Chain A
Amino acid sequence: MIKFFLNGKEVSTEVAGDMPLLWLLRDSFKLTGTKFGCGIGQCGACTVHIDGEAMRSCLMPVSTLAGRAVTTIEGLGTEEHLHPVQQAWVEQEVSQCGYCQSGQIMAASALLANKPNPGEQEIDQAMSAIICKCGSYPRIRKAIELAVKAQS
C-alpha cells in the first residue's frame, strides 16, 4: 500500500507500483482533468504538480509517490475560486479544444509559484514542454503575462 497526498488530502492505493500516476488519477480516483496524450513524456498533457514541481504523470510510477504531495488541475482552483492562472486563461480565452489545457495550466502555475516574475526564456522553457495541437500558444503567452501582473 502506498500513501501520499492528493490535492491536500492523504490517500492510499494498492495498485501495482509500476502503474503510472496518470492512470491511478484517472481510473482509480476518477480525476479525469489530467489527460492522456502520448504516454512517453513528449506532449505534457498529463502534467501535474509533485511537491510543487511540474511533472509528467504518465511516466511517474506510483511506487515513487510515498509521502509526496500531488496536485492536479482539480486541486488548483474551482469555478468559484479560480487560481490566478486559470483566471488569466479565461480572460485571454486561451482554450480551444481544451484537451491540453490542464497540462498547460499546471506547467504555468508551477512556473509562477517558483518564479513569480519569470523572464521570456524561462516562460519558453516551461511552456515548450506541452504540445497544443490547436495552437493556443500566443494566448498562453499573453495569459501568463497577465497572471504575472495579477500576482504582483
Chain B
Amino acid sequence: MAASGGLFLGISYQQLDDGDAAEKFASSGKQAIPFNAWLKISTDGTITVGIHRAEMGQGVVTSLASMLAEELDADWQSVDFEFTPVDRDYFNFGMMKGGQPFGDPSSNIGTGAGTWLVREVFHTMGLSITIGSSSIIDAWDTLRPAGARARDMLLSAAAKRWGVAKDQLKTEAGFVINPATNLKLSYGELAEAAATEKPPSKPTLKSPADFRLIGKNPSRLDDIVKVTGQASYGLDVELPDMLYATVVHSPIAGSLVDTFSSPPIKELSGVKAIFPVGKPAAETAVAVAAENSWLALQAAKTVEVTAKPPIDGIRDSLTIDYRKQLNDPEPVIFREDGDSSAVLSAALTNQHTSLSADYQVPYLAHVCMEPMNATAMLDNNQLTIWAPTQAHSMVRDIGAEISGLDPANVTVHCTFLGGGFGRRSELDFVEQAVSTAMRFSGRPVKVFWSREQDIQHDAYRPLAYSSIAGAVDSNGAITAIDYKLVTQSVVASLYKRTPNPRGGDARKDSSAVSAINPGIYNIPNLTVSFVPIDSHIPAGPWRSVSHSWNGFFIESFIDELAVASNLSPLLFRLNHLEQQPRHQAALKAVAEQVKGVANIGYAISESHRSVVAHAVEVEIINNQSLRVKRVVCAVDCGPVIHPNNVIAQVESSIIDGLSSALFEQITFKQGIAEQSNFNNYRRLRFNETPIIETILLDSPMERPGGMGEPAVPGVAPALTNAIYQATGIRIRALPVLNNPDFQPYQASYSTAESIS
C-alpha cells in the first residue's frame, strides 16, 4: 500500500490539471488575483480557497482549505472560501483511490503507468462528484501541491523584488521573510507580481513535522454563517421574480407519470401552472408552480397522479422471496478461495463447529434535513442551475441533456447541502427544476419537495439478504465461510438514472459484496456469491453503501461463530487478524477502554482506506426495554487532516448507525412507500443518544483515508452483538425494535431521561 501511495504522489506533483477550471474560478465569485483553480489572493492578503466538493456537514470547506493553506504557509485568520464553478479539471480521482466503487487502480493494474492512464481517462470524463468519502483522499494530491506551487511563486516574486536568491528566503503565516535582513513582504503585497511567476512543476511539500494546520484543528470556516442563519442552502436561493414549485410524484416508487388531474388553475389561489416534470417523455412527477411556497404546497394537495405500471411488476417489500433467490442456479461468484463447500460438508465428520445463519436489512431513506430541491433559470439560451448537489458535473450534463444546450452554456452554482449521505448524488430534483425552468423561460424557478415526497421518492438503501455458512476447527480457527448475498445492485440502479445511461451490469457490481471481498479476516476457504435482483424501487448510495449491509452481516456472523465455539468474540476476531496490525490495534484500543464492563458488543471494519473498531455497551432497563449506554470507537484513518472533524464524523456515523439499526425501515405496499414523515420514520433524538467516545490512533500509513462513512458499518453489528451479550437474543434482521425476536423486551427503547 505504501508503494502504491508513492506512485500516486509522484504523478500528482507533476500535474495539477487545472487549465480551464483556473480560468473559470478566476472569473467567478470574488475578484482577486488568481493563482490556480483553487486559489485567489487579494491585495489585502485575504486567501480565497476554492472548494470544489460538496459541503454537506463533513467539514470539507475547512479540511480542504487547510490542506492548501498549509502548503501555502498562509495565516488561517486570513483564509476564506468560495464554492467553485463546475469543470472537468475538478475531477475526483480520490474515489478511485478509495477503492469504491471500482476498486483501487493501483491494485487492479499494478503499475504506475496503468494508474496514470486511468487518471487521464478520469480527467477526460471530468466526473466531479462528492461520493465515497473521497474528498480528503483526492485533495491530498491536488490541494497540497496547489498551495505549494503558489508559495513557490510568492517566493520567486519576493526574491526578484529584493534581488536575492529564492532559497535564501522563507515563508511564515502569510509573509515571505528574508532572514538575513529581517525584511518581510505580505502575500497580499506580492500577489500581483507572484501570479505572473512560472509555477514549479514539482513543488516541495512540507514534511509532516512542519505542519501548522494539518492535524491541528484550525477553526471551521463555515461555523459563523451556520449559527447566524446566513448559510445559503439550495432551499434558500432567492432570486428576483422567482416562482416556487413543488412536486407530486407518480405514487409508485421509481415509476413515471401516466395521467394527472387537478381542479382548474383559476380555482387555485396564486397557482401559475400544473404540469409534468422530469426528463422529456419520462416524467417522474407533476409540478405545481405558484407565487409562493405555501400556495404551491396547498395546491399540490389537490393533484392526483397515476403511475405507469413498472415493466416487471409492482413490488411490496418482500414480493420477492429473497431466501428463495439464493437458489438461483447462476449466482455471480466474486471470490472462491480454496473449497469452502468441501470443508463445510466435512466439518460435521471432523467434529468441527459449523453454523449457518440468515440476515436481513431493510430499505432505508436518507432523510436529509433539507428536503430535495433545485433552482433553475433558462434565459437567452443560457441555463443556470443552483443546486445542493454531490454530483456537480452531472448536474451540468443533465441540464444540457434536457435543455438541448451545449454544456458550455450551462452554469451550475453549488450551495451548501442540508445533508447529503449519498442522496444528493441523484439528479431527479435537478431534472425537475430544469424542465420547469424551460416552461417559464426568463424566470427563475425553485422546485422543492415536501418531506412526504422526500421520504416516499428516495433512492433507497436497498433491502439486502444474506445467508452465511461457516466452520471453526478445534483450534478455534475459521476453516471456511460461504457467503451468499441477495440484493439490488446500487451501481446498476444508479446507471439507469445518470445522464446518457449506459446500463450498468448488476452482475459485474463487485461493490455489492464489499467488506467480505476481499475482507479483513484470514479465512482459508472463502466463497462469496451474489444474486442481483431487479426492482422498480430505486436503490441508491446510502452512507457507506454496501458496507452498511455487508458490515452487519459479516460482523454478526463472526460473532456467532465465536459464541458457537465458546470463544471470546473479541479474542476470536484478534486471532483472525494476525496479518492486520491496524485492525488489531483498533480493536485493542476500544477493548482497553471498556475493560471489565459487561454487555459489550464488538465490530471491526475497513472502508475507504480507514479502519474502525466499535464497542457498544447496552443495558436492559427494568427487564423491559433496551438502552444504548455508551459507544467507544477507535479510528485509524492514516494521517488525520482535521481531528475535530474526524471526531464529529464518528459521532455522526454512530448516531446515524444506531438510529437506522434501532428504528428505521421503509416498507412498500403496492409499490408505494408506507412511511412519509418523521412521525412514522423515527430518528434517534437528543435524549436517546448514548455517551460516545472516540479514539484517534496514530497511524504509520502515509496517505489519509476518508471518514464521512467508515464509522457507520460497524455500529449495527456491535449493537446487536451487545444485545446478544445482554439478553441471549440474536438479532438477525433489522431494525431491532421491529424484530419479533426482540418482543420479550416489549420492543421498546429507553431514553436517557426515563432511567435517570
Seen from chain A, the residues whose Cβ lies within 8 Å of a Cβ on chain B are 15-16, 19-20, 23, 26-28, 30-40, 42-43, 45, 72-74, 76-79, 82, 86, 89-90, 93-102, 105, 120-121, 124-125, 127-128, 130-141
B454 to chain A minimum Cβ distance, whole angstroms, is: 9
Whether A96 contacts B229 by the Cβ 8 Å rule is no
| A39 to B452 Cα, complex, angstroms | 9
| A100 to B448 Cα, complex, angstroms | 17
Whether B238 contacts A32 by the Cβ 8 Å rule is yes
B665 to chain A minimum Cβ distance, whole angstroms, is: 16
| A129 to B48 Cα, complex, angstroms | 38
Residues in chain B near residue A23, CB distance under 8 A: 292-294
Residues in chain A near residue B297, CB distance under 8 A: 39
When the two chains form the complex, which single residue of A28, A32, A127 contacts B687, counting CB atoms closer than 8 Å?
A127
B723-756 contacts to A, CB under 8 A, are 751-753, 756
| A105 to B297 Cα, complex, angstroms | 27
A139 to chain B minimum Cβ distance, whole angstroms, is: 7
Interface membership of B651, Cβ < 8 A: yes
Known: A120-B753, A136-B651. 12 other contacts (CB 8 A): A23-B292, A27-B292, A37-B371, A40-B451, A90-B224, A90-B227, A93-B219, A93-B644, A97-B57, A99-B370, A120-B756, A124-B751
| A31 to B227 Cα, complex, angstroms | 14
The secondary structure that dominates the B interface is: loop
With most chain A CB atoms within 10 A of its CB, the pick from B231, B685, B686, B692 is: B686
Smallest Cβ-Cβ distance to B655: which chain A residue: A135
When the two chains form the complex, which single residue of A77, A96, A127, A130 contacts B648, counting CB atoms closer than 8 Å?
A96
Interface membership of B139, Cβ < 8 A: no
When the two chains form the complex, which single residue of A20, A38, A97, A124 contacts B677, counting CB atoms closer than 8 Å?
A38
A35 and B450 in contact, given A27-B293, A96-B58, A124-B686 (Cβ under 8 angstroms): no
Whether A73 contacts B228 by the Cβ 8 Å rule is yes
B515-558 contacts to A, CB under 8 A, are none
Interface membership of B230, Cβ < 8 A: yes
Whether B753 contacts A124 by the Cβ 8 Å rule is yes
| A128 to B269 Cα, complex, angstroms | 37
Whether B451 contacts A98 by the Cβ 8 Å rule is no
Smallest Cβ-Cβ distance to A88: which chain B residue: B227
A135 and B656 in contact, given A97-B57, A97-B369, A101-B226 (Cβ under 8 angstroms): yes
A103 to chain B minimum Cβ distance, whole angstroms, is: 9
When the two chains form the complex, which single residue of B58, B232, B244, B685 contacts A131, counting CB atoms closer than 8 Å?
B685
When the two chains form the complex, which single residue of B228, B369, B654, B751 contacts A132, counting CB atoms closer than 8 Å?
B369
When the two chains form the complex, which single residue of B58, B232, B367, B450 contacts A133, counting CB atoms closer than 8 Å?
B367
Whether B678 contacts A96 by the Cβ 8 Å rule is no
Smallest Cβ-Cβ distance to A141: which chain B residue: B686
Q: How large is the interface on B (under 10, 10 to 19, 20 to 34, 35 or more residues)?
A: 35 or more
| A79 to B417 Cα, complex, angstroms | 21
Residues in chain B near residue A72, CB distance under 8 A: 229
Q: Per-residue 0/1 for B648-668: is the Cβ within 8 Å of any A Cβ (1 yes, 0 no)?
A: 100111111000000000000
Whether A98 contacts B678 by the Cβ 8 Å rule is no
15 A–B contact pairs at CB < 8 A? A15-B292, A16-B294, A23-B293, A33-B228, A37-B371, A38-B677, A43-B678, A90-B224, A98-B231, A100-B418, A133-B368, A133-B421, A136-B648, A138-B692, A139-B651
| A74 to B225 Cα, complex, angstroms | 11
Whether A16 contacts B269 by the Cβ 8 Å rule is yes
Residues in chain B near residue A45, CB distance under 8 A: 369
Residues in chain A near residue B753, CB distance under 8 A: 120-121, 124-125, 128
| A59 to B293 Cα, complex, angstroms | 14
Whether B292 contacts A98 by the Cβ 8 Å rule is no
Smallest Cβ-Cβ distance to A95: which chain B residue: B226
Residues in chain A near residue B418, CB distance under 8 A: 35, 97-100
A112 to chain B minimum Cβ distance, whole angstroms, is: 15
When the two chains form the complex, which single residue of B55, B368, B655 contacts A137, counting CB atoms closer than 8 Å?
B655
A28 and B292 in contact, given A38-B677, A97-B417 (Cβ under 8 angstroms): yes
Interface membership of B416, Cβ < 8 A: yes
| A110 to B644 Cα, complex, angstroms | 28
Interface membership of B622, Cβ < 8 A: no
Residues in chain A near residue B688, CB distance under 8 A: 128
Whether A89 contacts B227 by the Cβ 8 Å rule is yes
| A89 to B229 Cα, complex, angstroms | 13
Smallest Cβ-Cβ distance to B652: which chain A residue: A135
Residues in chain A near residue B224, CB distance under 8 A: 79, 82, 90
| A27 to B653 Cα, complex, angstroms | 34
Can you list the 9 inter-chain pairs with the closest CB atoms, starting with the nearest? Answer: A33-B229, A135-B655, A99-B418, A97-B57, A96-B57, A98-B226, A73-B229, A32-B236, A42-B678
A102 and B370 in contact, given A30-B238, A96-B648 (Cβ under 8 angstroms): no
Residues in chain B near residue A16, CB distance under 8 A: 269, 294
Residues in chain B near residue A73, CB distance under 8 A: 228-229
Residues in chain B near residue A20, CB distance under 8 A: 294
| A127 to B753 Cα, complex, angstroms | 12
| A137 to B648 Cα, complex, angstroms | 10
Whether B228 contacts A42 by the Cβ 8 Å rule is no
Interface membership of B683, Cβ < 8 A: yes
| A27 to B292 Cα, complex, angstroms | 6
| A37 to B689 Cα, complex, angstroms | 21
Whether A102 contacts B451 by the Cβ 8 Å rule is no
Interface membership of B480, Cβ < 8 A: no
Interface membership of B220, Cβ < 8 A: yes
| A113 to B562 Cα, complex, angstroms | 54
Smallest Cβ-Cβ distance to B679: which chain A residue: A42
| A123 to B370 Cα, complex, angstroms | 25
Smallest Cβ-Cβ distance to B269: which chain A residue: A16
A96 and B652 in contact, given A27-B292, A74-B228, A124-B687 (Cβ under 8 angstroms): yes
Whether A134 contacts B652 by the Cβ 8 Å rule is yes
Whether B227 contacts A105 by the Cβ 8 Å rule is yes
Residues in chain B near residue A95, CB distance under 8 A: 57, 220, 222-223, 226-227
| A107 to B656 Cα, complex, angstroms | 22
A13 to chain B minimum Cβ distance, whole angstroms, is: 12
| A16 to B269 Cα, complex, angstroms | 10
Smallest Cβ-Cβ distance to A19: which chain B residue: B294
Residues in chain B near residue A130, CB distance under 8 A: 686
B540 to chain A minimum Cβ distance, whole angstroms, is: 16
Whether A139 contacts B648 by the Cβ 8 Å rule is yes
| A73 to B677 Cα, complex, angstroms | 25
Residues in chain B near residue A19, CB distance under 8 A: 294
Smallest Cβ-Cβ distance to A143: which chain B residue: B227
| A30 to B679 Cα, complex, angstroms | 29
| A131 to B418 Cα, complex, angstroms | 13
Interface membership of B569, Cβ < 8 A: no
B282-311 contacts to A, CB under 8 A, are 292-294, 297
| A107 to B467 Cα, complex, angstroms | 47
B582-616 contacts to A, CB under 8 A, are none
| A33 to B451 Cα, complex, angstroms | 18
Smallest Cβ-Cβ distance to A77: which chain B residue: B228
A80 to chain B minimum Cβ distance, whole angstroms, is: 10
With most chain B CB atoms within 10 A of its CB, the pick from A127, A133, A137 is: A133
With most chain A CB atoms within 10 A of its CB, the pick from B55, B222, B419, B756 is: B419
Residues in chain A near residue B416, CB distance under 8 A: 97-98
